[in-house]
Amino acid sequence: VCNAYTELNDPVVQRDRFAQQLK
């Protein structure tokens, strides 16, 4: 959960995660 919070806090990571989901 803490890791997910960090991802949401970091727009760069959030964008990378979003790109991975599209794959």
> Which DSSP string corresponds to 4-22?
HHHHHH-HHHHHHHHHHHH
Backbone angles phi and psi of 22, in degrees to 5: -70, -30
pTM recorded for the entire structure: 0.37
Check residue 4 and give its pLDDT: 62
Contacts of 16 (CB under 8 A, 6+ apart): none
Taken as a whole, the chain contains a residue count of: 23
Helix axes 11-22, 2-9, angle to 10 degrees: 100
| CA dist., res. 23 & res. 10, Å (int) | 20
Q: State percent of the chain over pLDDT 90.
A: 0
pLDDT for 14:
79
**Confidence at residue 22, expressed as pLDDT on a 0 to 100 scale:** 82
Q: Between these two residues, 1 and 10, which has the higher pLDDT value?
A: 10
